Amino acid sequence: MEKTSISVVIITKNEEERISDCIKSVNEWADEVVIVDDESIDKTQYIAQKLGAKVLVKKMEIEGAHRNWAYQQTKNQWVLSLDADERATADLKKEISEILKSNPECVSFSIPRKNHIGNYWIRWGGQYPSPQIKLIRKDKFKWEEVEVHPRALGEGKNGRLSGDIIHYTYRNWGDFLNKLNNQTTLEAKKWYNYSFENPKKARYKMNVVHALWRVFDRFMRTYFRKKGYRDGFIGFMIAYFASLYQIVSYAKYREFKKNGKKK
């Protein structure tokens, strides 16, 4: 089987349980697989090397900067960016191979993801197709260099693919809460640091009235407008946890302000 001239970049940290399946979903298709590991202390690096991946070790400090650096370590112009909990499907790989042969004018492509909690595919509440930019031309694209939810900064058009990525988003509800905890800490830290650059915007975005409104708005949009109720109890829990994101971020932001320590 002729491999496609594409580099797959996988960002990892202590992913020994999932990294093998991620690499196996692409290593017979892509002619380069690069692991950028955030100083794992488990067998992530060993497993990746055994499967033939190129392993680089770099501590992640700012997500956007970390991803931009990772893309520049590849030999190919086109990069498919995956996380260890993601798997490329056969339909997606075929679609990407055909697109790259056509010399596309787009500099990036969004790919739909089938998000899961455990083995349950979450179909509603905005969880599918929920496309994310995953295929990029590295000389024309970069991420904003912030700690969480970086913006895409492409020098051209973004296209959309139809093939899916399988995303094992959450192992269980405990994993969901752990990720919510980590992401809200990063969100609060981002806005705390931004408050020194643009105090007016920070006050507008991070205040108790805005946070409470977002609690209500996110639940209503996720559970009713985006039909999260069709996923039953799982849909309710996802809408509920999503609604907590802003108020928890705001509470942590207040703690940073009280402590008065700039990162």
* One domain, residues 231 and 219: yes
Pick the closest to residue 62 from 142, 129, 148, 181 (CA basis): 148
* One domain, residues 134 and 251: no
Give the pLDDT confidence of 106-128 residue by residue, as tens digits: 999 999 999 999 999 999 999 99
Half-sphere exposure (CA, 13 Å, Cβ side) for 217? Answer: 9
The string over 140-170, giving b where at least 16 C-beta atoms fall within 10 Å of a residue's C-beta and e elsewhere, is: ebbbebbbbebebebeeebeebeebbbbbbb
The C-alpha R_g of the chain, in whole angstroms, comes to 19
Residue 15 three-state SS: coil
* One domain, residues 150 and 185: no
> What is the distance between the alpha carbons of residues 73 and 77, in angstroms, rounded to a whole number?
10
Tokens coding 255 = 């703690």
* One domain, residues 11 and 50: yes
Phi-psi region of 90 (alpha: psi -120 to 50; beta: other; left: phi over 0): alpha
Q: Which of 126, 150, 170 is the last residue of a domain?
A: 170
Q: Which of 128, 149, 170 is the last residue of a domain?
A: 170
* One domain, residues 30 and 140: yes
* One domain, residues 156 and 203: no
Q: Does residue 12 contact residue 55 with C-beta atoms inside 8 Å?
A: no
Q: Which of 147, 170, 193 is the last residue of a domain?
A: 170
Give the pLDDT confidence of 28-80 residue by residue, as tens digits: 999 999 999 999 999 999 999 999 999 999 999 888 999 999 999 999 999 99
Residue 201 three-state SS: helix
* One domain, residues 191 and 131: no
Q: What is the pTM of this model?
A: 0.88
Write out the residue range of the structural domain in which residue 191 sits: 173-259
* One domain, residues 255 and 191: yes
Specify the pLDDT at position 263. 47
* One domain, residues 77 and 57: yes
* One domain, residues 37 and 135: yes
What CATH number corresponds to the domain at position 37? 3.90.550.10
* One domain, residues 37 and 165: yes
* One domain, residues 136 and 208: no
174-180: long-range pairs with CB below 8 Å, 24+: 176/117, 176/237, 176/238, 176/241, 177/241, 180/241, 180/244, 180/245, 180/248
pLDDT lower than 70: segments of the chain? 1, 261-263
